[in-house]
Structure 1
Amino acid sequence: MRGTIQNFQHDLLAWFEDEARDLPWRRTKDPYRIYLSEIMLQQTRVDQGLPYYERFLERFPDLKSLADAEEEEVLKQWEGLGYYTRARNLHRTARILMEQYKGNFPDTPEVLQLLPGIGKYTAGAIASIAFNKAAPVLDGNVKRVLARINALKASIDASAVQQQLWAMAGSLLSQKEPGDFNQAMMELGARICTPKTPDCHDCPVQVHCEAYKLGSQEELPMRSVKKTVPHHEVVVAVLCKGEGYLIGKRPSTGFLGGLWEFPGGKLEAGENHQQALIRECREELGIEIEPGGLITVAKHAYTHFKVTLNVFRCRVVKGKPRPNFHTELKWVTRDEFDDYPFPKGNHKFLKLL
């Protein structure tokens, strides 16, 4: 980095004071609301997460209301954001804080990291923003800023480089205003020092940036080669009884835990759609079915894989559905769909039923 740390801090904080976006979690020092914003904005853009944040707080305005709720209600409020482990961990953490910490948040990163779903970054954000503790943060935006101002010629995905970046973040951190400094670094990465075509002309710390001096800002940060994202072909069985549709609740732990879904699963080698539907319904529900017509084909991307959902109407020809995989089965009407939290992929065909 060019120049002194003190000058870097001054230039960044002066810019943040004038240019910071007016966001609801920046108008408070309430650790619950700051915590919620940090968890909600993991893997979620600010513009996308803002209405969910406000809606969530309408239903769960404080730690106690969240702790007192049933998990399914929390998942329903989270519906549409994805990465549902975040919601389950929010709920678990709220209950732990009410039961073991008298409803108070710990104010140190070390203790915060003992809570479900709170890692080093989130702990640093809560401690610095809510409690003014000198704890650094390192998210994707901050990594990019650090890599550029230091012209770091190494993959920021490497574990050794991650440690180096944490050390850089700690050395730059303002001891007097750690919360504002951390938010300013994240704001800079989100709005100015963007992944593509960074706005160096308007950057408040341009004079400190080694990459800008070298003209290498668009080449940085360096990343490891991404692995090919696997794709799965999936069948979905829409089973009807009168006006009811059969849905099942996934186990509370694991992928999409606690959400409701339509029966189905991945095709196995050599299967066609109809064969996969028959096998999945036999394994999941203990019934024999007759596959019917195709309703729709929908594509959906998760973090580590992609799926194509082939949705078929099906008819039960033998047996009574039982929850061999799901924890619970229900027959529900279209009007009742809104009462249950479904994976985002299922929402792509619900309105077609």
Structure 2
Amino acid sequence: MPTTMPPTELDWFDTPRLRRLRTAVLRWYATHGRDLPWRENRDPYRIWISEAMLQQTTVAAVKPYFARFLDRLPTLHDLAQAPEDDVLRLWEGLGYYSRARNLHRAAKEIVTRFNGTFPEDVETLMSLPGVGRYTAGAIASFAYDTRAPIVEANTLRLYSRLLGYRGDPRSKEGQTLLWTFAERILPRDESGAFNHAVMDLGATICRPADPDCPACPLKTSCRAFAEGTQAEIPVKAKRPELTDVIDATVVVSSGDRVLIRRRGPEERWAGLWDFPRVTLEAGGAASDAALHRVAIGTLGDWLKENVGLAGRDWAHLTDIRHGVTRYRIRLLCFTAASAAKPATFADDSGLRWVTLQEIDDVPLSMTGRKLAKAVREHTRERRLFS
């Protein structure tokens, strides 16, 4: 005897409901779609840059970066030919710097593999560094109107509520369901406009908290709204437990110059420049005086071993507190002077002496930029460099 399969979330969307959803989405978008600078045309380069920037970053934060990036590097060839430091400097402050390095690598690859012509299909796009399923689908649908599904933060939330999905949308099961649904609901035509629309609905109407359900054009198609579960869906991601870390960094001066180093490929903020920085063994219960002694000793050892110089006139300048993924970091910031005139570094050493004016053109870590500003302010009160 044939068995009856249990109903699934997808069964909620029969053919008539799917048709109503597509019509309602596109009609709403025609009136309420967001006016965003990367939607001015269908240039795949502009779309690609915006999608890379929007990962883990808000639209408001991205707008000025996008304008500055496109002003300096308006074409794919400009990006491919730019020095990595220039790309990272333009990206500085957006975080997740692997995005910028992947953009740079992928631009070079498009020039060499595809003669500078942007790929159009999802599979080829996904072969580029840093381009995953969502970004490939966004480029293909927005630039070429390819029928390519997308699932990102806003549509993940919207689709979970439309389906009434109570599981974890970030799990393998949840991702399979949402991507299947994202593909099923796409219209045959206007896929780019449809994908823009569902992203805008998620961002402006189907918000994480206090969704504006009465104004939603999809409320009659939404299972969570029908069941009154929109406040509970989607299941919230588990917050990682934070680990307290104490780091120390030093601005070493020699005349009017300070020492900086390029962070290695396995370090946070890889490829950016920073002041010498170490992680301390001392625990958070130690007194400030004890922490400072440990920090100066550890930094001094690092300078001797890696740079071959000794520091003098050590002084604590400030503390910077910041977070990185699951780490809550207290950064102890010091100044010191080089005890002797330092040697010149080789170009590939990852070390440089720069003036505080030259440092403006160097891509620095977020904390490095804050510390450079603090040093400038300090020099207004008393002369730091001699």
- One fold, TM greater than 0.5? yes
SS at match of 1:219: coil
Q: 2:323 aligns with which of 301, 305, 312?
A: 301
User: Percent identity of the aligned residues?
Assistant: 38
- The number of residue pairs the alignment matches comes to 352
Query: What CA deviation, in whole Å up to 9, does each residue of 1:116-174 have, x standing for no partner?
Result: 00000000000111011111001011110011111111011212211111111111112
Task: Find the aligned partners of 2:262 and 2:343 in 1 and give their Cα distance.
Answer: 13
Structural mapping, 1:165-176, within 5 Å:
165-176=178-189
C-alpha contact 2:254 2:341 (8 A) present in aligned 1: no
Q: What amino acid does structure 1 have at the position aligned with 2:260? A: I
C-alpha contact 1:233 1:267 (8 A) present in aligned 2: yes
Are 1:239 and 2:252 matched, yes or no? Answer: yes
CA distance 1:284–1:126, change in 2 (3 Å): same
Task: Find the aligned partners of 1:232 and 1:180 in 2 and give their Cα distance.
Answer: 46
Task: Find the aligned partners of 2:306 and 2:323 in 1 and give their Cα distance.
Answer: 24
TM-score by length of 1: 0.94
Task: Find the aligned partners of 1:341 and 1:47 in 2 and give their Cα distance.
Answer: 22
CA distance 1:327–1:18, change in 2 (3 Å): farther
Task: Find the aligned partners of 2:295 and 2:259 in 1 and give their Cα distance.
Answer: 19
SS at match of 1:207: coil
Q: 1:23 aligns with which of 33, 36, 42?
A: 36
Task: Find the aligned partners of 2:108 and 2:213 in 1 and give their Cα distance.
Answer: 45
Task: Find the aligned partners of 2:167 and 2:201 in 1 and give their Cα distance.
Answer: 21
Q: 2:56 aligns with which of 40, 43, 51?
A: 43
Q: 1:201 aligns with which of 200, 203, 214?
A: 214
C-alpha contact 2:251 2:276 (8 A) present in aligned 1: yes
Partner of 1:73: 86
Q: Cα offset for 1:110?
A: 0.6
C-alpha contact 1:322 1:329 (8 A) present in aligned 2: no
Partner of 1:5: 18
CA distance 1:328–1:264, change in 2 (3 Å): same
Q: Cα offset for 1:301?
A: 2.1
Partner of 1:275: 297
Partner of 2:352: 330
Q: What amino acid does structure 2 have at the position aligned with 1:255? A: R
Task: Find the aligned partners of 1:152 and 1:32 in 2 and give their Cα distance.
Answer: 35
Are 1:118 and 2:131 matched, yes or no? Answer: yes
More displaced, 14-23 or 311-320?
311-320
CA distance 1:233–1:321, change in 2 (3 Å): farther
Partner of 2:369: 347
Q: Cα offset for 1:288?
A: 3.3
> Max radius of gyration: which structure?
2
Q: 2:97 aligns with which of 77, 80, 84?
A: 84
Partner of 2:229: 216
Alignment root-mean-square deviation, CA: 2.1
Q: Cα offset for 1:203?
A: 1.1
Q: What amino acid does structure 2 have at the position aligned with 1:341? A: P
CA distance 1:284–1:203, change in 2 (3 Å): farther
C-alpha contact 2:205 2:213 (8 A) present in aligned 1: yes
Q: Cα offset for 1:287?
A: 3.2
More displaced, 218-227 or 120-129?
218-227
Q: Cα offset for 1:253?
A: 6.2
Q: 1:315 aligns with which of 317, 326, 337?
A: 337
Q: What amino acid does structure 2 have at the position aligned with 1:100? A: R
Q: Cα offset for 1:48?
A: 0.6
Q: Cα offset for 1:352?
A: 1.5
CA distance 1:189–1:339, change in 2 (3 Å): same
Q: Cα offset for 1:291?
A: 6.4
Q: Cα offset for 1:296?
A: 0.9
TM-score by length of 2: 0.86
Q: Cα offset for 1:64?
A: 0.9
Q: 2:242 aligns with which of 229, 234, 258?
A: 229
Q: Cα offset for 1:254?
A: 5.1
C-alpha contact 1:300 1:307 (8 A) present in aligned 2: yes
SS at match of 1:80: coil
Gaps of 5+ in 1: none
Partner of 1:134: 147
Task: Find the aligned partners of 2:181 and 2:214 in 1 and give their Cα distance.
Answer: 24
Task: Find the aligned partners of 2:28 and 2:143 in 1 and give their Cα distance.
Answer: 21
Task: Find the aligned partners of 1:273 and 1:112 in 2 and give their Cα distance.
Answer: 47
Q: What amino acid does structure 2 have at the position aligned with 1:150? A: L
Task: Find the aligned partners of 2:251 and 2:367 in 1 and give their Cα distance.
Answer: 14
C-alpha contact 1:278 1:291 (8 A) present in aligned 2: no
Query: What CA deviation, in whole Å up to 9, does each residue of 1:288-328 have, x standing for no partner?
Result: 3346221111112223433221101123347957979x842
SS at match of 1:257: coil
Q: Cα offset for 1:70?
A: 1.1
Are 1:100 and 2:113 matched, yes or no? Answer: yes
More displaced, 222-231 or 159-168?
222-231
